[in-house]
Amino acid sequence: MSSTASPQTARSTVSGSGIVITLAGLLVVASVALAAAQGLVQPGTALAFGIFICIGELIRVTLPGERTEAPLGLAGGLAYAVLLNRSGDAATHGALQVVAVTATGMLLGSLPHVAAGRLPAIDAVARRVLVVAFAAVTFRGLASALYAQGGERGRTSLVALMVAVAIAAWLLDGVLGALISTERTRAPFRALLRNELSALAGIGAAVGSTGVLIALACEVMGLSALPVLSVPLLLTQFSFRRYASIRATYLQTIRSLSRVTDLGGYTESGHARRVSELAVAVGRDLGMRDEELRELEYAALMHDVGQLSLSEPIPGGATLMVTTAEQRRIAALGADVIRQTGVLDGVAVIVERQAEPYRAPQLLDDGDVPLAARIIKVANAYDDLVGGSLEMGRTLDALERLRLGSAYEYDPRVVESLATVLTRSVG
């Protein structure tokens, strides 16, 4: 399949997970070895934060996009990283102790999940360890000079540093997440980074602010600041969990509904699923945001629902084989059905426009056909030609036919992206 992708579309991949896990592993080994050799500084504080991090890892949450996050545990790690004082006593622990306590807490918090058969995503845990390690090294390396200044100016500078470190930690979290996702999806790093930062914006702000507030409150409240100030983040995490659950149920419902055309004999078995998977892969390759990818997936799953109105099914359900007018009629009928839900108007527009050519012959630009509609048009045509076959010859013939139609019918950028995606799937 290497011949199907041009040099411009081929992209090299890096083992992002391996890099993240290796770096975190080396840090953990070094920090635990140092803690074992020298003992813990202020062990009571270390134990309290370790328990807090452990609980946070225990109640971790899976966010949309299969992102496994532990907001409470990460906030505890950040708080310990930027902690300067506890009830009047200066916090004298170093950055490596922060790593050791964080890693131990996360490991212990993962054990119940392992016992229940829910294996943790090692790269996600390693990512959180690296974020806390970065915050600890950065803050504890710079804070000593500011702490020595004393006075109101020094105090203000320390708080500003805490906030800056929390923001930098959020950025690093996004970078590491994108690096890991690059290996899994092989999509462009820049698009993945944008998606990660966007997805983590809300929960990241909550984690960062909670970590800073706990560290500051410990100066007055002592370790009681841990449970007291964790309540808002717990409520936020619960809301995110509910949102993710609703999203998952919604997607599962749409996937089930998309099989109606298969069961009714209007399309080949698995057609909607294959078109959806191809469309999302192409959309990700072209840099679409998570929200756009979600609408694209919904539209791809339901792009053939209009066929249910046909008195006689199209042979094989291949809309590629009928006239353009009939394709538009089927798309319009499907869009009307989707609009009846009252909540999927954007999806309805995509389904309606997916029968349109990507540009009229007289235009020099891409017209106004949405990118998602152009992607579904290409993915649907490809599956109509190939179906579930894995034969190389059929794949090459289908791509050649799509390229021949790229002057008017199919967006050439989408066609070449599809070729790249197919190359990766066998590469």
pLDDT digits (tens, 9 = 90+) for 244-281: 888 888 888 888 888 888 888 888 889 999 999 999 99
pLDDT for res 360: 62
pLDDT band of 68, cuts 50, 70, 90: confident
pLDDT band of 296, cuts 50, 70, 90: very high
Residue 99 pLDDT exceeds 80? yes
Q: Report whether CATH 3.40.50.12780 matches the domain 259-426.
A: no
pLDDT band of 22, cuts 50, 70, 90: very high
Residue 63 pLDDT exceeds 80? no
pLDDT digits (tens, 9 = 90+) for 335-393: 998 988 777 889 999 999 999 888 765 544 445 789 999 999 999 999 999 988 878 88
Mean pLDDT of the chain: 87
Percent with pLDDT over 70 in the chain: 93
Burial class of residue 11 in the structure, from the number of CB atoms within 10 Å of its CB (0-12 exposed, 13-18 middle, 19+ buried):
middle
pTM for the full predicted model: 0.81
Domain boundaries defined on the chain: 2-244, 259-426
Comparison of pLDDT for 391 and 12, the residue scoring more: 391
pLDDT for res 13: 42
pLDDT digits (tens, 9 = 90+) for 175-223: 999 998 887 777 888 888 888 888 888 889 999 999 999 999 999 999 9
Comparison of pLDDT for 68 and 120, the residue scoring more: 68
pLDDT for res 2: 37
Residue 11 pLDDT exceeds 50? no
pLDDT band of 97, cuts 50, 70, 90: very high
